Amino acid sequence: MTSRTESDYVLGTHDEEVARLGLQHRVWRSVVTECWERAGITHGCRVIDVGAGPGYATADLGEIVGPSGAVLAIERSGRFLEAARERCRRRGLSNVEFREADLMEHSLGDLQFDASWCRWVASFVSSPEKLVQNIAGALRPGAIAVFHEYSDYETFRFMPIKPALDSFCVEVMQSWRASGGEPNVGRGFPGLLRGAGYRILEIRPHVRTVSQRDYAWQWPKSFIEINIARLQDLGRVTAQWGADVLKEFAEVEADEGSWFTTPMFLEIVARRE
């Protein structure tokens, strides 16, 4: 049976979503590892992966911090956590621990960790304020918190303009809001972090414009295909709407002059004071 947590999560925790999160990680991996390096995440660090999902970043972090470091993956979906555990086992990592917990209900505790990594989680929680406070409580003074969170989701668009594909972006944002989240949560982070006792060291926007010749094009392709089915399962859209979106996607994909702009997220590096 599907647990309440599994069925509640707006994007779902099925196998296709596990694979899609892997694709998403590979698309942004170079940006992520460069950011971790700038933030000082290295051998021996103890890092929390907050809302780790199926553990793609978790395993990379485990390799980077090495046997003298440690990674704690926190995730509320048991299915995702199982996939993360299996991934780390296959990569021969024994320095990663896994904890199934809802960050809105359970305190992480005073772990005195050196760093935290939190990506695309704040858009899905009922209280981003509670999330950043919870992370602050688990870090030692002087520790570094790194966030990658959406700030301007509307930059998800195709050129030339396609009305059904534009409506897909609107539906995605509405579905996240209907489940209690906020797609543009990153905009509020400077104030939230200051209030929770962090000092912001750096904020960088990340957005890419890609054509179907780029690997990153596979991201909107898989996201659209999987999310049409998910939005239909949630009873939010009709089969006809889904067919219209897919038809327009086939058109942009067949047109060598088409471009896609990714939804913009902010990279925020902060120090816990």
Ligand X SMILES: C[S@@+](CC[C@H](N)C(=O)[O-])C[C@H]1O[C@@H](n2cnc3c(N)ncnc32)[C@H](O)[C@@H]1O
- Residue numbers of the site for ligand X (CB under 6 A)? 9, 21, 25, 51-53, 56-57, 75-77, 80, 102-104, 119-121, 124-125
Distance in angstroms (rounded) separating the CA atoms of residues 270 and 116: 10
Element (H, E) at 39: helix 15-39
Give whichever of 163 and 180 is closer to ligand X, judged by the CB atom.
180
Residue at 1: amino acid letter: M
Give whichever of 17 and 248 is closer to ligand X, judged by the CB atom.
17
Give whichever of 77 and 258 is closer to ligand X, judged by the CB atom.
77
User: In this structure, how many other beta carbons lie within 10 angstroms of the beta carbon of residue 37?
Assistant: 11
Residue 141, C-beta contacts closer than 8 angstroms, at least 6 positions apart:
272, 273
Give whichever of 76 and 230 is closer to ligand X, judged by the CB atom.
76
DSSP-assigned letter for residue 155: G
Distance in angstroms (rounded) separating the CA atoms of residues 164 and 66: 47
DSSP 245-262: HHHHHHHHHH-TT-EEEP
Distance in angstroms (rounded) separating the CA atoms of residues 117 and 99: 15
Residue 61, C-beta contacts closer than 8 angstroms, at least 6 positions apart:
36, 41, 47, 49, 71, 117
Give whichever of 79 and 162 is closer to ligand X, judged by the CB atom.
79
Q: Which single residue brings its beta carbon nearest to ligand X? A: 53
Give whichever of 25 and 272 is closer to ligand X, judged by the CB atom.
25
Give whichever of 99 and 221 is closer to ligand X, judged by the CB atom.
99
Burial (CB count <10 Å: 0-12, 13-18, 19+), residue 92: exposed
Kindly state the smallest distance separating residue 160's Cβ from ligand X, in Å. Answer: 29
How is residue 134 written in tokens? 């919870």
Kindly state the smallest distance separating residue 56's Cβ from ligand X, in Å. Answer: 5
Kindly state the smallest distance separating residue 28's Cβ from ligand X, in Å. Answer: 8
